[in-house]
Amino acid sequence: MPSSPAPDSAARRPVTLADIARHLGISRIAVSYALRGDRRNVSQATIDRVQAAAIELGYDPALAHAARRLRYQHTSERVLNHLVALFFPYAHIHLAYWARILEALQIQLAERGYGLLCCGLDCSRPLTDQLPPLFRRGDVDGAIIFPVDSQRPMLLDGLRAVPGFAGGPIVSVLEPLPGCASVIFDDVAVGRLAANHLLDLGHRRLLAFNPDEHCPPMTGLRVEGNRLAVVERGFSPAEVLRVGPWPCQRDQPQEQALREMLARWPDTTAVLCPNDWVGVPLARTLRRLGYAIPGQLSVIGVDDTMEWYDGHEHNRWTTIALPLEQLGATAAELLVGILAHQRLGDAACILQPSLVVRGTTAPPTA
């Protein structure tokens, strides 16, 4: 009995760009441009023809991508896998501050066709032991990191030591790091804006707080901005700005610490809080201590992520708003731009704050 004819070998192998080019009678490079939707090099009519032919012939871009990786694996050229690693403080994801940043970052990456690999970090173990094999295989194109306290050197040095990733671009968010691109807030401007608002209202006895060893560098920069505002207005920081010790433990205000500072500086008329997460509970503590806000003490926060409602359900919290969604989206845009060679690998983006006046600040009564 005669054997069945062998299936056509062309039907078994993946469809290539060359197959589409032959089918349409155009060049392979034109097919490549068209599949990328590059209207700078081919017309929309060509894009439509090529994409229709790709569907008709069963072209699978994932298989083509795998072939390119095999072809370039022994060269210095990188083939993008459209996968980004994210090192993020997920323990705080329930807070609006972090959730707003992360949501914008994820949306921006998805719109650009990138997937997100979310990575945790245990400081008690070497980073290389914690990273998934995707890093060592070279599957991760770049990383976005949120440096956190003791994790900074471990994270950066560890990523640079992974053979499959060592040269990959890194974008540091909220804090600039050497050798990385960065997206940060102008934290000196944050402090200047808050202090200027209080000075404009007529306050001349301001209380701010020195960061402790667990605070991020941005906290100290905001206090420096407070000082600059005082100096720029022609006042003496020693007379106008009092800087007390950090008044919180695990983000909870310490009543005794506040009592001692206000007893030391009883003529204080306004308090500069480092952020809303500390500021709103601190303002409530001041109320419990008997201070009317803003009657006796004006209070201002930073970031605009928390509310303090009055009796009419209106948010009365005055703060310096930070463009959190813009921060997340810009971090994604910056990394994708670096991967596409449209941005420098050490590019820096600095985002500006804005003042939101509500009901916790007013001119001093005395």
DSSP 179-245: TSEEEEE-HHHHHHHHHHHHHHHT---EEEE---TTS-HHHHHHHHHHHHHHHHTT--HHHHEEEE-
114: amino acid identity, one letter: Y
The answer to whether residue 2 sits within a structural domain is no
Residues 257 and 303 in one domain: yes
CATH at 170: 3.40.50.2300
Residue with tokens 């080019």: 21
Answer yes or no: do 191 and 287 share one domain: yes
State the pLDDT at residue 11: 45
The answer on pLDDT for 286 being more than 80 is yes
Domain membership flag for residue 361 = no
- CB 244 within 8 Å of CB 210: yes
Please check whether residue 191 is in contact with residue 221, taking contact to mean a CB–CB distance below 8 angstroms.
Answer: yes
Are residues 124 and 344 in contact, defined by beta-carbon separation less than 8 angstroms? no
Residue 192 and residue 314 in one domain: yes
If asked whether residues 136 and 120 sit together in one domain, one would say yes
| Average pLDDT estimate for 198-212 | 95
Tokens representing 160 are: 């640079």
**What pLDDT is recorded for position 149?**
59
Q: Are 164 and 135 a contacting pair, CB within 8 Å?
A: yes
> To the nearest 10°, the Cα dihedral for 206, 283, 281, 205?
10
Q: How many helices (H) and strands (E) does the chain have?
A: 15, 14
Total-model pTM: 0.78
Answer yes or no: do 162 and 254 share one domain.
Answer: no
- The better pLDDT of the pair 248, 191 is held by 191
Highest mean pLDDT among 149-163, 172-186, 222-236: 222-236
Computed over every residue of the chain, the mean pLDDT equals 86
Q: How far apart are CA 106 and CA 260, in angstroms?
A: 45
User: For position 151, what pLDDT does the model report?
Assistant: 63
Q: Which residue has the tokens 């194109």?
A: 141
At residue 132 the predicted structure's pLDDT band, cuts being 50, 70 and 90, is: confident
Same domain, 195 and 308: yes
Same domain, 272 and 291: yes
The model's pLDDT over 82-121, given as tens digits with 9 standing for 90+, comes to: 899 998 887 778 889 999 999 999 999 999 999 999 887 7
Total structural domains within the chain:
3
Closest residue by Cα to residue 159 from 99, 88, 269, 85: 85
- Kindly state the tokens that stand for 226: 């407070």
Domain that holds residue 49: 9-72
**Residue 40 confidence (pLDDT):** 81
